[in-house]
Amino acid sequence: MELLAILLSLLLLMYFAFRGYSIILFAPLFAILAATASNFSLMPVYTEIFMTKAAEYFKMYFSIFLLGAVFAKVMEDGGMARAIAGAIAGKLGKENAILAVLLGCGALTYGGISVFVVVFVIYPFAAALYREANIPKRFIPAALWLGTFTFSMGAFPGSPQIQNIIPTAFFGTTTWAAPLTGVISGLAIFFSGWAWLLYRQRQAAARGEGYGLHTLNEPEKTEEHQLPNQFLAALPLILVLIANLYLSNPFKWSWAYQWNEDILVPFKVLKLSLLSTGVDKVRAIWSLNIALILGILLALFIGRRQFHSKGGIAASLNSGAIGSLVAVLNTASGYGYGSVVASLAGFQVIKSFLMEIKLGAGPLVSEAITVNIMAAITGSASGGLTIALGMLGADYLAWAQTANISPDALHRFAALASSGLDSMPHNGGLITVMAVCGLTHKESYYDLFVITVIKTVLIFIFIGLYIATGGL
């Protein structure tokens, strides 16, 4: 009966997410539903498990959501994101429209700009290039998704996106975990997806299909002469990456920053309820916080002339701060839900099944499958990753240690898996992409689905290679 309640709550969570209902409201309701057949009283489930775990998540990651959203907004309102996108589009031209979109999305995402902001910034350039090259507009969402929500988000080491940050708290890693695995797998996803889009472009050209007659959300020509210099515009992105690399020091360079391992000792006497257990759990977050602050300050200086038309610097900062709240609360609610489910005795059946999935001696396949399932159910890469690691992260880490698999590998494949089956039709990011492009699922989802299959299959291929070679 407990297992049935859990499965019912999971199905309802998926259904309501698909229908567009807020997970902030419904995650706690379905968490309580999952617990109805357990020995727990329901209100303590809500206040003592769900809310405590949601608070833990908020405490750990709110600063990243906040500073990341502010950085993205400053880069957007300061014209720097548009300057970078325009430079890439201008250099490559309509002959390489697909590549220009992929590189523009990848550069902005890897530089730390929110994936949703990237879609809004790149779309006008993508539409203009596709129209000039007479490539069907219905292919744009797949290109935006591939460039923004895959290799640059969870594969490439050092990415400041939340999907690459979440595993650091569970495994004590940094955002630069398993760099070679990340680079190789990221490039494989990039080139495989690009090859598919080029193939589809050739197919369309052969049957005489062009851009098409579209009126919804068609971008208008805008003046670009007052945008910041493209090289100056890129400096905040570069600064974030370099500062994060120096401060997190993933490769233990003697000249890079060394966090004092005793820095938390004075706080232990305060008996803080959510105090981190060690510096290894938070150094990646501290490093990225500082890097984002530096990036924001530099971006404010470089784009200072642009802010007047956007209501001033205060308007941009406030807008970014407010915009971060829904994102962090959504994911914290998902984490709270997963934590409730993981605490139930009935979950042990599901856990045993997931932990029995083996290829080789380690947990990599089980981890990838679990993250993919949760990402598909919630329609969210970060939500699925958070729930999966909240339920089984500690077990995977213990299993990996017995199998002599590094935490870095756990981190990288978890981040990769989060961008696998997350692109289900009810994914909020996917719905946003379709809306921005003025297209429907019926018109554009096929190519996005193929890319979903490609990236998901590649994840398991690379896990197999990792196991076969003893590590990439």
Q: For residue 454, what pLDDT is reported?
A: 93
Give the span between the Cα atoms of 417 and 410, in whole angstroms.
10
Q: How confident is the model at residue 82 (pLDDT cuts 50, 70, 90)?
A: confident
User: Taking Cα atoms as reference points, which of 209, 193, 220 lies closest to residue 123?
Assistant: 220
| pLDDT value at residue 18 | 63
Tell me, what DSSP letter sits at residue 358? -
> Which positions ≥6 away from 258 have C-beta within 8 Å?
249
210: its two tokens: 């062009």
Residue 257 included in any domain: no
438 Cβ partners below 8 Å, 6+ apart? 214, 216, 217, 218
Residue 256 domain flag: no
Tell me: pLDDT of 132 over 70. Answer: yes
- Residue 223 falls inside a structural domain: no
DSSP letters for 201-237: HHHHHHTT--S----TTPPPP---TTSPPHHHHHHHH
Model pLDDT, residue 391: 82
Residues 296 and 67 sit within 8 Å (Cβ to Cβ): yes
Give Rg (Cα) of the chain.
Answer: 22
Percent of the chain at pLDDT exceeding 70: 96
What percent of the chain stands above pLDDT 90?
A: 38
pLDDT digits (tens, 9 = 90+) for 380-439: 788 788 888 888 899 999 999 998 999 999 999 999 999 888 787 767 678 778 888 888
Report whether 390 contacts 338 (CB < 8 A). yes
Angle (deg, nearest 10), helices 2-18 and 23-34: 170
To the nearest whole number, what is the mean pLDDT of the chain? 87
Q: What is the pLDDT of residue 461?
A: 93
pLDDT digits (tens, 9 = 90+) for 141-152: 999 999 999 999
pLDDT score for 426: 62
Tell me if residue 280 falls in helix, strand or coil: helix
Tell me the per-residue pLDDT of 251-308, one tens digit each, with 9 for 90 and over. 888 999 999 989 999 998 888 888 888 888 888 889 989 999 999 999 999 988 888 7
Q: Could you identify the residue written with the tokens 């997190």? A: 248
Given CA atoms 253, 247, 176, 250 in this order, what sign does their dihedral have? positive
Digit-coded pLDDT (tens) for 204-228? 999 999 988 877 767 665 555 577 8
Task: Give residue 364's pLDDT band: very low, low, confident or very high (50, 70, 90).
Answer: very high
Between the alpha carbon of residue 40 and those of residues 28, 35, 56, 343, the distances in Å are 15, 7, 21, 10
* Boundaries of domain holding 324: 2-215+229-251+272-469
Distance CA 57, CA 122 (A): 31
**For residues 100 and 90, what is the distance between their CA atoms, to the nearest angstrom?**
9
Mean pLDDT of 159-166: 90
Structural domain includes residue 13: yes
Q: How far is CA 271 from CA 51, 266, 467, in A?
A: 20, 10, 42
Residue 446 belongs to some domain of the structure: yes
> Mean pLDDT throughout 175-201?
95
Contacts of 91 (CB under 8 A, 6+ apart): 100
Pinpoint the alpha helices (H) of 303-406: 313-343, 347-355, 364-378, 381-402
pLDDT attached to residue 228: 83
Does residue 221 sit within a domain?
no
Tell me whether residue 375 is exposed, middle or buried, using C-beta atoms within 10 angstroms of its C-beta: 0 to 12, 13 to 18, 19 or more: buried
In a domain? residue 32: yes
Distance CA 305, CA 146 (A): 33
Contact 152, 186 (CB under 8 A): yes
Is residue 351 assigned to a domain? yes
Q: Is the pLDDT of residue 189 over 90?
A: yes
Q: Is the dihedral of CA 3, 5, 424, 397 positive or negative?
A: negative
User: According to the model, what pLDDT value does residue 219 have?
Assistant: 67
Q: If you write DSSP's letter for every residue of 393-453 in order, what string do you get? A: HHHHHHHHHHTT--HHHHHHHHHHHHTSTT--TT-HHHHHHHHHHT--HHHHHHHHHHHHH
| Residue 330 and residue 383 in contact, taking contact as beta carbons nearer than 8 Å | yes
- Position 222 scores a pLDDT of 52
DSSP character for 310? Answer: G
**Count of structural domains within the chain:** 1
Question: 250: Cβ–Cβ under 8 A, 6 or more apart, which residues?
Answer: 157, 173, 174, 175, 176, 177, 179
Burial class (CB in 10 A: 0-12, 13-18, 19+), 295: buried
